[in-house]
Amino acid sequence: MSARPSPDSQAVDCDVVDPRQAEWAALRATIVHYILRRGQPAHVAEDVAQDTCIKLLAYCEQQRPASLYALAFRIAATCLVDMKRKERGPADELDDGHSCDAPLADRLIDGRRRVSLFQAALAAMPALRRKVFEQRRIDNRSHAQIAADLGISVASVEKHVSRGLQDMRKALSRADLD
């Protein structure tokens, strides 16, 4: 059997059959039989055989396969899988009706770890810085309000908030390195 049979060639005489056409017909029949043995209906086997022959011809135009039948069987199996995927349609999306609104366990653990880091960083701050930082970042008070309540300048409040943020960043970076 030649490796590059061509179904395009026509017989000159009606009684004479082109051997290449016979080879392609035998290959196509083998593919149909292969798909039927895999439990598929005849119409599916015919469609897969047709697709396989088209892809095999395109491949043979580019290069010569080592084994025409082995390549044909591989293409047929792939075509069958593709056809079944198309029949099945797109995968159904997951139903959101059963979703859980609770955070995942790893997020809970990470959140608790961060809270304990913040608490430790707050406890390590000097008393005035901690008080200014808590009023600004937790109680959401303005710099002017904090300055008036504590009897310090607005610039001092800004300095304490800035240094408090630096302390928090350092605490988080140390924890991320561990």
Q: Which CATH number belongs to the domain containing residue 156 in this structure?
A: 1.10.10.10
Task: Note down the domain range covering 42.
Answer: 19-88
Q: What is the mean pLDDT of residues 83-96?
A: 72
Over residues 137-163, the pLDDT tens digits come to 889 999 999 999 999 999 999 999 999
**75 and 127 fall within a common domain:** no
As a whole number, the mean pLDDT across the chain is: 84
Look-up of token digits 């075509």:
79
Give domain status of residue 127, yes or no. yes
**81 and 129 fall within a common domain:** no
**77 and 23 fall within a common domain:** yes
Residue 82: pLDDT above 50? yes
4 and 64 Cβ atoms separated by less than 8 Å: yes
Residue 8: pLDDT above 60? no
How does residue 95 score in pLDDT terms, banded at 50, 70 and 90?
low
Residue 104: pLDDT above 60? yes
Give domain status of residue 135, yes or no. yes
**131 and 77 fall within a common domain:** no
Instruction: Flag the least confident range among 22-31, 47-56, 60-69, 90-99.
Output: 90-99
Q: What is the mean pLDDT of residues 68-93?
A: 85
Residue 19: pLDDT above 90? no
CA distance 35 to 38: 5
47 and 69 Cβ atoms separated by less than 8 Å: no
At 87 the pLDDT is 83
76 and 34 Cβ atoms separated by less than 8 Å: yes
CA distance 79 to 153: 78
How does residue 14 score in pLDDT terms, banded at 50, 70 and 90?
very low
Number of domains within the chain: 2
At 172 the pLDDT is 83
At 24 the pLDDT is 87
Phi and psi torsions of 13, nearest 5°: -110, 145
The reported pTM is: 0.43
**One-letter-per-residue 3-state SS of the chain:** CCCCCCCCCCCCCCCCCCHHHHHHHHHHHHHHHHHHHCCCCHHHHHHHHHHHHHHHHHHHHHCCCCCHHHHHHHHHHHHHHHHHHHHHCCCCCCCHHHCCCCCCHHHHHHHHHHHHHHHHHHHHCCHHHHHHHHHHHHCCCCHHHHHHHHCCCHHHHHHHHHHHHHHHHHHHHHHHHC
